[in-house]
Amino acid sequence: MLERDRELSQVPKRFFAALVENPVTALLVAINFAMFGVLLVTDGPNDTTNLYRWGAKFGPAIQNGDWFRLFTPIVLHAGWMHLAANTFALVIFGPRLEHDFGWHAFLATYLVSGVCGVAASYLVSPALSVGASGAIFGIVGAYGIYLLRNRKEFGVSVNPVLTNLAIVLVINIIFGLLIPGIDQGAHVGGLIAGVAIGWVLSPGRVVTIEDDFFLFGAPLVKTRFQRASMLKVVLCASLGLVVATAITWWVSNAIDYDPATMAIYGFYELTTR
């Protein structure tokens, strides 16, 4: 019991250490909290009009040119529990990707997964939505692919981790189907984007063999994990944004919203001017 209490007392320290050692993760957490503070000092994070004012995804608004709403929902959260859940997941998985992938590949994975999640949400529903869940699902998917691609190098110890990741994702998707109000489109879209980006950008094991005749001709075998180059990160991120743009363009030109949805849009526009 004492040992368990001691471990629980170390959790806040581990969270703080993870943020100190991984500045991009810390920056993303800080931005989410800062924007939550903005919501608090205006009309609150539970007010849909206020969420719309600060950039929530809403189908008719994007259709009428507010394409910035592909990005802004990622930093908005509708309540303390929403913020806490996403922050917890970000601090658990963010440092792992930032350390192993490098900060640039991690940031690209997070942002592109988030944007693709919003685009997927826009594809399946016009409803107002916010949250970093698409980005979170993306980094979880990228981390899973990284472990899967290198499972021979990591050994059998990685199998339970992959199983646990799969269980967590399945449970979240099931809850998304059963509980109304959860943006399942963003979750699935972000996960697909993260898996695709992770496949391209995840570090791979590189083996080099050097001959050293001073050591009686015995070969020197060196092993390391090589991160993706900056050029590869930029190209991959650009392709992901192109996909999100294509989805958004298609929806904007193919969908006609019903009068009730357009009436809500008119109300939001009128009250947020």
Do residues 227 and 150 touch, judged by C-beta distance below 8 A?
A: no
Side-chain-facing half-sphere of 54: CA atoms under 13 Å: 27
Q: CA 137 to CA 89: how far, in whole Å?
A: 9
Catalytic residue among 133, 202, 238, 252: 133
Q: Which residues of 186-221 are buried (b: 16+ CB within 10 A; e: fewer)?
A: bbbbbbbbbbbbbebbbbeeeeeeeeeeeeeeeeee
Q: Is residue 129 annotated as a catalytic residue, yes or no?
A: no
In one-letter notation, the amino acid at residue 185 is G
252 is catalytic: no
CA atoms of 33 and 29, how far apart (whole Å): 6
User: Which listed residue (77, 82, 104, 187) is catalytic?
Assistant: 187
Catalytic residue numbers, as ranges: 133, 187
